């Protein structure tokens, strides 16, 4: 039986730093204060804006829905930006043909 990969591990080895930088840039564009050295800390700013009591350490009191709202806000924003970037590249490529 194959071992399951951790959900927090990028599929591409070594891509973690680039993804963190991308997360920081995207969330900064959304108006969140992001420390580029600690891009994962943006989750606290997102949680605060959503009215969710997230704190460093154990957050066992959070519901699955609350945790999903925080991660969804961050991940959804990143995905929308990746789609926008891909569409822009397609337009640029088609205009050079």
Q: Output the pLDDT for position 6.
A: 61
What Rg value do the Cα atoms of the chain yield, rounded?
Answer: 16
The domain ranges of the chain are 16-96
Q: Note the pLDDT of residue 70.
A: 95
pTM beyond cutoff 0.85: no
pLDDT values of the chain reduced to their tens digit, one per residue, 97 residues: 566 656 678 888 888 889 989 999 999 999 998 888 888 899 999 999 999 999 998 889 999 999 999 999 999 999 999 999 999 999 988 887 7
d(C-alpha 57, C-alpha 68), whole Å: 17
Orientation angle between helical segments 42-50 and 16-29, nearest 10 degrees: 40
Residue-wise pLDDT for 48-75, tens only, equals: 999 999 999 888 999 999 999 999 999 9
């Amino acid at each position: 039986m194959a071992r399951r990969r951790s959900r927090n591990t990028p599929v591409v080895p070594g891509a973690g730093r680039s993804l963190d930088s991308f997360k920081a840039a995207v969330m900064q564009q959304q108006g969140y204060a992001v420390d580029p050295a600690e891009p994962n800390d943006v989750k606290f700013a997102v949680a605060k804006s959503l009215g969710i009591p997230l704190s460093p350490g154990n957050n066992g009191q959070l519901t699955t829905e609350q945790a999903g709202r925080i991660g969804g806000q961050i991940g959804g924003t990143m995905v929308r930006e990746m789609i926008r970037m891909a569409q822009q590249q397609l337009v640029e490529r088609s205009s050079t043909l």
